[in-house]
Amino acid sequence: MPHSKFKEKINNYFIGVSDAASFVGLFFKQVFSVPFHFREIINQCYVVGLKSLPLISLTGFITGMVFTKQSRPSLETFGATSWLPSLMSIAIVRALGSLVTALICSGKIGSSIGAELGSMRVTEQIDAMEVSAINPYKYLVISRVLATTITIPVLGLYCSFIALIGSFVNVTMYESTSFIGFFEYGFASITFLDVFTSVTKSVFFGFTIGMVGCYKGYNAANGTQGVGKAANQAVVLSMFLVFIEEIVIVQVSNWIRLY
Amino acid sequence: MQETNQHITHKNEAVISIRGLYKSFGTLDVLKGIDLDVFKGENVAVLGRSGTGKSVLIKILAGLLKPDKGNVTVLGKDVSTLKEKELDALRLKIGFSFQNSALYDSMNVGQNLAFPLQMNFKNLSKKEIDTAVAEVLDAVGLKNKINEMPADLSGGQRKRIGIARTLILKPEIMLYDEPTSGLDPVTCIEINELIKEVQKKYKTSSIIITHDLTCAKATGDRVAMLLDGKFFKVGSFDEVFDTDNKLVQSFFNYNFIK
Ligand SMILES: Nc1ncnc2c1ncn2[C@@H]1O[C@H](COP(=O)(O)OP(=O)(O)OP(=O)(O)O)[C@@H](O)[C@H]1O
Ligand SMILES: [Mg+2]
């Protein structure tokens, strides 16, 4: 009966949500308890950083440059191109840097975590850890989630910086500005709250990307299909959540700004 | 713990004792009332067709799956009611050799073997770990493979490394899930020899899951035939296969091409 099928779907949805919630809950339960796998955390930070650095450098630079180029005509009509450094700094630091980083890492890091843990699940490597009295959640999930939570904010700041350089390159092609002058002018229009919000956002993005990748991989269904599906779903879901978080955090920071 | 069973003539203590074990997945009833004792120092071969729940059975023994009903006692501990810490302590005494070896892809052979030691005994020195790794590699006869990646090993070599990885924790109980499946007959015999060597050298009691009668005959002190979620018979190889049961006979005939 279609009615009971619908009921089953709703049921499965809520089972899924509660599964995910307890998966996340386990993180906060176990993250502060021994043993700490420091070496694995550092190792994962290294992997996350190294994997996404080239792409973030390139995308950041191009985003900064293109954004500046496209904004120029509309400012020119008011003869206000001298505002470009501050306009770009605000756009990049407040939104673009962390968002571009999060989207790239969703694709690059989220999928690789999903595929890696997925294949470990499917080939029983996770079970193998469990039967040798190693807590696989702690060793695999916590180290990866901590790594993304630490590394992605750093990458976000780095991306903002590279984007500003991209922006400077475009500005300096049309107007005579010095590197220092550009940054001094740009930074003058950025407040502490801007940077703080941006880093906070990145922390949430990082946590989300790591968590979603791990959740999808850790619970991958059997078979090689399960691995591909885990990787794919990790990307889709973490991108979706990144946008939601972006909207919510921007709202909250705007309220704070008012006071 | 000192549970002895009258109708089996072993005077030893049972290290594994299963009573009335049931397990189903959704509507699929896999295990329907399993009883089994494994005595100290003996190898029990569990035979059965694909999908009869052999892997499920030993996964329950290692606490990877929870039974629906019944008692599962391993080394005197009821596996299904243990707390996490106690379960981990018990797991250190159980070696689990996976059907597909389950080697850690991202680590080389040496790291695979060292990993369980490093994670469980933080105060071991590098030298002690290296010695232990060399010892188990020697025991499985693959000393020269220490720096290779699992992907570069053959199926038989992977099985050996998988067994070595469990031996490094000096288990009292070994659970082998299809140790010879997918291997050529000669390699099968080598693995059978290895299982018997392990039994002698490490003084283990084992369950060997298999659908290969040669392996069961060679390695099992007793044989248990799993049919439709229950043990058809537990006893010596000849006792189990001296029967009129068509299903058991077909299993036997197929394996030995009579
Ligand atoms: N985690 C699980 N969830 C749902 N069903 C499962 C699960 N594990 C096993 N099953 C089902 O239980 C049955 C028995 O599986 P099991 O892996 O124990 O078979 P097996 O006897 O080991 O077979 P093989 O010789 O092919 O390894 C199968 O039908 C399988 O689909
Ligand atoms: Mg199996």
Q: Per-residue pLDDT tens for B120-166?
A: 998 999 999 999 999 999 988 899 999 999 999 998 899 999 999 99
- Considering only CA atoms, which residue is closest to atom 16 of ligand 1? B53
Q: Which of A30-39, A52-61, A182-191 is most confident?
A: A52-61
Residue B1 pLDDT exceeds 50: no
Q: Are A238 and A212 in contact (CB under 8 A)?
A: yes
* Phi, psi at B169, each rounded to 5°: -90, 10
- What is d(CA B79, CA B46) in angstroms, rounded to the nearest whole number? 20
What is the predicted pLDDT for the residue at A257? 84
Rounded to two decimals, the ipTM of the complex is 0.89
Q: What b/e string do you get for B150-170 counting C-beta neighbours within 10 Å, with b at 16 or more?
A: beebeebbbbbbbbbbbbbbe
A35 and chain B in contact, CB less than 8 A: yes
- What is the overall mean pLDDT for chain B? 88
What is the predicted pLDDT for the residue at B10? 52
Q: Ligand 1: which atom is nearest the Cα of residue B59?
A: 18
Residue B4 pLDDT exceeds 50: no
pLDDT band at A99 (very low <50, low <70, confident <90, very high): very high
Q: Using one digit for the tens of pLDDT, what is the confidence trace for B20-38?
A: 999 999 899 999 999 999 9
| Nearest-ligand number for the alpha carbon of B31 | 1
- What is the overall mean pLDDT for chain A? 92
Query: What are the structural domains, with CATH classification, of chain B?
Result: 1-93+173-258 (3.40.50.300), 103-170 (no CATH)
Which residues 129-168 on chain A approach chain B with CB closer than 8 angstroms? 130-134, 139
pLDDT band at A2 (very low <50, low <70, confident <90, very high): low
What is the predicted pLDDT for the residue at B136? 93
Query: Which of B56, B61, B96 best tests ligand 1's pocket when mutated (most atoms within 8 Å of CB)?
Result: B56
Residue B2 pLDDT exceeds 50: no
What is the predicted pLDDT for the residue at A61? 97
Instruction: Report, as an integer, the average pLDDT of A220-234.
Output: 90
Nearest to B155 by CA among B109, B213, B101: B101
Nearest to B39 by CA among B19, B9, B78, B69: B9
Structure tokens at A219: 């619970």
Q: Using one digit for the tens of pLDDT, what is the confidence trace for B195-224?
A: 999 999 989 999 999 988 889 989 999 999
CA angle A157, A160, A164 (to 5 degrees): 140
pTM (2 d.p.): 0.90
Structure tokens at B113: 């073997």
Which residue in this structure is represented by tokens 């930070």? A45
pLDDT band at B44 (very low <50, low <70, confident <90, very high): very high
Question: Is B98 close to A128, i.e. CB distance below 8 A?
Answer: yes
Residue A78 pLDDT exceeds 70: yes
Nearest to A206 by CA among A253, A163, A155: A155
Kind of pairing between the strands at B43-48 and B69-74: unpaired
Number of helices followed by number of strands (H, E) in chain A = 11, 0
Ranges of each domain in chain A: 1-30, 37-258
- Considering only CA atoms, which residue is closest to atom 9 of ligand 1? B56
Question: Is A125 close to B103, i.e. CB distance below 8 A?
Answer: yes
What is the predicted pLDDT for the residue at A228? 93
A144 dihedral zone (left: phi>0; alpha: psi -120 to 50; beta)? alpha
Q: Are B103 and B158 in contact (CB under 8 A)?
A: yes
What is the predicted pLDDT for the residue at B255? 64
Work out the end-to-end distance of chain B between its first and last CA atoms, rounded to an integer number of angstroms. Answer: 43
Residues of A in contact with B166 (CB under 8 A): 132
CA angle B152, B174, B162 (to 5 degrees): 5
CB atoms within 10 A of CB B97: 28
- Considering only CA atoms, which residue is closest to atom 5 of ligand 1? B25
Residue B230 pLDDT exceeds 50: yes
Residues of B in contact with A124 (CB under 8 A): 98-100, 102
Peptide bond just before A54 cis, omega within 30 deg? no
